[in-house]
Amino acid sequence: MMDAPVTETQPAATLRLANVLYEKKNGIAYVTINRPKVLNALSTPTWTDIRTAFENARDDMAVQGVILTGAGNKAFIAGADISELSKATPLDAERASRFGQQVLDLIENLGKPVIAAINGFALGGGCETAMACTIRIAVDTAKFGQPEVTLGLVPGGGGTQRLPRWWGRVVRCSSFCRPR
């Protein structure tokens, strides 16, 4: 006798994730990294939740685009979860880096526009996540950076490849957008 197939009991619009809020309204998927106490730092479970949300958005034909942001008003994503990194072996770090790269590749190649609504720090993996998005809109106080290079580390999510491609498309609004 065969077991009955397992079916999803939760509608996709109310996908429940531990570290990410996911909601769909009027053809837009809203993905919010929800770890404001640690400035929305990227842990392995958070990367997994981000992947799940973006796979859902990719596969849902009703979703026409995604808005990605961070909870709270201090950080979009302030980088890797240092408490997790401090316990990682070199092999763990390599696996985590490759997994993060895969998630960012999913975002970059989603086939639908992804808007990064940057509401504060976008550092390390946060900066790399913003660079993977189609469009980046930031508050005036947003801070971007790859601080790991000052520690002799290579950006783990593909920042060394995305930054040169992205930089050519950056326009500094302050030089010509101010009223005269």
The verdict on whether 128 is a catalytic residue reads yes
Contact of 128 with 161, CB cutoff 8 Å: no
How is residue 56 written in tokens?
């859902």
Catalytic residue among 55, 84, 94, 148: 148
Catalytic residue among 23, 55, 84, 128: 128
Cα separation, 14 vs 17, in Å, equals: 9
Contact of 130 with 122, CB cutoff 8 Å: yes
Cα separation, 29 vs 3, in Å, equals: 34
Q: Which residues are catalytic?
A: 128, 148
